[in-house]
Amino acid sequence: MESGNAMKSNRIIPKIAMIPTILVALGVFVGCMLWTVSLSFTASKSVPDMTFVGLQQWDRLFHDFRWLLAMKNMFIFGIAYIVGSLALGYALAIFVDQKVKGEGFFRTIFLCPHALSFIVTGEVWQWYLGPTLGLQKSVRDLGWTNFTFDWLVDRDFAIYAIAIAGIWHGAGLVMVLMLAGIRGIDGDIWNATRVDGIPAWRTYISIVLPMVMPSVLTSVALLGAGAIKNYDLVIAMTAGGPGTSTTVPSLVVMNYLGERSNIALAGTGATFMLIVTVGIAAPVLYWRQRRVKLLGMAA
Amino acid sequence: MQITKSTKLGLLLSVTFSALATASFADPIKAEMIDNWGTGAERAAVQVIQDAFAARGGELTSTVVQNGTQVLSTTVGRILAGDPPTTNTFSPSSLYLDLFIKDQYNDIDAVATAGKWRDVLPPFLIDAISYKGKIYIAPISMTVTNWVYSNKELLAKAGIAELPTTYDAEFFADLDKLKAAGIQPLGMGGDPTVYRWTFESVMQSVGGKDHWLAVWDKKDEAAVHSAKMREIFETFKRLHDYTDQGAPGRNWAAATDLVVSGQAALTIVGDWGKAEFVAAGKVPGKDFECNLQGNPPMYVIHGDMFGFPKSDNPDVIAAQKLFAETVFDPKVQADYNVIKSGMPARTDVDVANNPAFDECAQKAAVAYGDGAGVVGSPQWYLTPDGAGAFSDMLADYFNYPEMTTDQVIDQFWTILSEDQLPSRD
């Protein structure tokens, strides 16, 4: 009897301790999200004004050609950033996994960019990729006077220049996650591939990569979140330019929140970004749940 | 009782303190100002206001944020949170009109009427600071974006004696001369505000006042589709050929610094650009030249003003009243504008005979005149939303070679005609 009561209170006390956290999570996260979504159906301008206007703001936003360009840029940047970071991060992880001397040193170096904020990354890469100050000028000064690398001021390529800075920043995180996955692989697998005579590079691509899929998916989720909310990088590198060619959804939202004094449109844009985030995160979570069920493995 | 030393000391101290307690020290009237004036010259100008406010028995703290947008968002955030600042900075735009409509600001009409403000302000400015007939805003400084600052040394190198004050063929011929001499003619930035004020400068000089008012005030379709408008847009786009590759993304201060340091010959910027030259120790007339574009130059106002967030607290209202009186004082306006390189808002402040105002300020004073010809900027006539769309349009037009003048005029007309600014009356 007594042990039964003790067990009950053991279960209740942690739950009670969680109540403040749950309240904060519900109030702040969920509550504020619902508030932002509700703003998108109002006529708010500079201050909230709860006059219901139906889908008018959504209609206006999706007929704005700059918003459509922003969405396109978000997807281009997102894909370039995620694929590039995965590829570079995996390559770095493979390199560090070769049991080189000073492995700890290399790991730290490769992870350093990730410790910088996007705004610092953006500023530095703007100097480096800008044609008058950076790479183009240096190579020209060395003698190759016809060398051009003006992606940053070219309206079709500026978004890729921004992706380069993003990849430099994100590869370190991917490396760390992949390395953990690779190191978690049973040594017997490596022995088996050696016995079968499979070259190392083939092993990494066809055997190891599927086995570290959870790390890949975690990376995709983390990088994807960064890609959707990307603002600092664009502001620091191009301020949305040249012209408005590198505008991204977060930039549009911030403009409407600030000097364009239209928080209803800002809420609409933010709600859309939330929908995209959920659209990426939900399948990943579902896939992992299924994996647990099917394979009985820890996700 | 025996009076020991310590008792004597104790008695002395308690008598002193009780005397102090009963002495009537007026508590200083506290005020807080939110502004975006962080550079050296700007802080010195704020100090002028703070000293004048202190002399009137007040204590002014200045909360600095990074830019004008942040002033708006910080102030609105504090108003909604129930902790409004005493005052915050404004510019003559429609940015705060929605807040006036939603009754988030106090008016200072009592102060304005008592101080006879309407007698010393230009008619347009009186409209600009009023809502429903009452004055809500205290103006301290008027600025324009119509300046061309040029590096005299580089001009001399290309054999140019004096730049014309218009954007005509002679001006572009001079820009070509600079290019031929291997000098970068135009130092220009790439953020949206730069395009907006450069376009303003071109539109004022090429179009003149009547055209300006026809387009912005009357939204006359014929004026927008006229040959003059085409000329304005084409002249604006022509400037692109004289900038360098690094222009997109550069901020205005870096662009002005190009001219200060001799890497570019001239730049188009507002009065605030002069501060960059002065900070580098350059002297107007000797190291650099300041031209107001347009024959005669118009006066399209930007400027520094203050608004007063809503409060029913009598202490706050007293502080707001004192602040409004302080910044409208002629001496404060004169001192402030000497530092900030603007024109005093009051027309009765003597600029011509004040040696502290340099030759650039004297040129501005002549253009300002008695203020009768003062007009508003595009941000005044458009909603903030529309002004943003207008900047985006200019940014695209300037940077995309394939965008034609016909396309930009159509886009401009769409923005202008669909923009619905609530009435200020």
Q: What is the per-residue pLDDT across B298-315, written as a single tens digit (0 to 9) for each?
A: 888 888 999 999 988 899
Q: Is the pLDDT of residue B1 over 80?
A: no
* B249 closest CB neighbour out of A48, A239, A244: A239
Record the pTM. Answer: 0.85
* B72 closest CB neighbour out of A126, A240, A259: A259
Would you call A43 exposed, middle or buried from its count of C-beta atoms within 10 A (0-12, 13-18, 19+)?
middle
Tell me what pLDDT residue A251 has. Answer: 93
Tell me what pLDDT residue A162 has. Answer: 94
C-alpha distances out from residue B115 to B119, B122, B350, Å = 9, 15, 18
* A261 closest CB neighbour out of B98, B192, B400: B98
Tell me what pLDDT residue A299 has. Answer: 46
Inspect the interface and report whether the beta carbons of B400 and A155 lie closer than 8 Å. yes
Inspect the interface and report whether the beta carbons of A47 and B246 lie closer than 8 Å. no
Please report, as a single letter, which amino acid is at residue B273: G
Tell me what pLDDT residue A54 has. Answer: 86
List of chain A residues whose C-beta atoms are within 8 Å of the C-beta of residue B388: 255, 259-260
List of chain A residues whose C-beta atoms are within 8 Å of the C-beta of residue B398: 243
Mutate to test the interface with A, among B199, B244, B392 (most CBs of A within 10 A): B392
- pLDDT bin (cut points 50, 70, 90) of residue B374 is confident
Tell me what pLDDT residue B403 has. Answer: 92
Closest alpha carbon within chain A to B72: A258
Task: Say how far apart CA B171 and CA B205 lie, in whole Å.
Answer: 12
Inspect the interface and report whether the beta carbons of B387 and A244 lie closer than 8 Å. no
Which residues neighbour B71 within 8 Å (Cβ) at sequence distance 6 or greater? B34, B35, B36, B65, B88, B89
* A47 closest CB neighbour out of B95, B104, B397: B104
Beta bridge partners of B32: B61
Q: How far is B80 from chain A (nearest CA, A)?
A: 8
Mutate to test the interface with B, among A132, A259, A263 (most CBs of B within 10 A): A259
* A133 closest CB neighbour out of B246, B384, B396: B246
> Tens digits of per-residue pLDDT, B264-294?
999 998 888 887 888 788 888 888 999 888 8
List of chain A residues whose C-beta atoms are within 8 Å of the C-beta of residue B95: 46, 259, 261
Closest alpha carbon within chain A to B243: A132
In chain A, count H helices and then E strands. Answer: 15, 0
> Tens digits of per-residue pLDDT, B349-361?
888 888 888 888 8
Tell me what pLDDT residue B136 has. Answer: 93
- pLDDT bin (cut points 50, 70, 90) of residue B23 is very low
> Tens digits of per-residue pLDDT, B410-422?
999 999 998 888 8
List of chain B residues whose C-beta atoms are within 8 Å of the C-beta of residue A152: 248-249
Token pair recorded at residue B413: 């007309």
Which residues neighbour B61 within 8 Å (Cβ) at sequence distance 6 or greater? B30, B31, B32, B33
Q: What is the DSSP letter of B31?
A: E
Tell me what pLDDT residue A7 has. Answer: 64
Tell me what pLDDT residue A194 has. Answer: 86
* A260 closest CB neighbour out of B104, B191, B385: B385
Q: Is the pLDDT of residue B24 over 50?
A: no
Token pair recorded at residue A66: 């700059």
Query: ipTM score here?
Result: 0.82
DSSP conformation letters of B202-213: HHHHHHHHHHHH
The mean pLDDT of B81-86, rounded to a whole number, is: 90
Q: How far is B422 from chain A (nearest CA, A)?
A: 12
List of chain A residues whose C-beta atoms are within 8 Å of the C-beta of residue B384: 46, 259-262
Query: Which stretches of chain A sit within 8 Å of chain B by CB?
Result: 45-49, 66, 126, 130-133, 150, 152-153, 155, 237-245, 255-262, 265
Positions in chain A whose pLDDT score sits under 50: 299
Would you call B191 exposed, middle or buried from its count of C-beta atoms within 10 A (0-12, 13-18, 19+)?
buried
List of chain A residues whose C-beta atoms are within 8 Å of the C-beta of residue B72: 46, 258-259, 261
> Tens digits of per-residue pLDDT, B149-191?
999 999 998 888 888 889 989 999 999 999 999 899 999 988 8
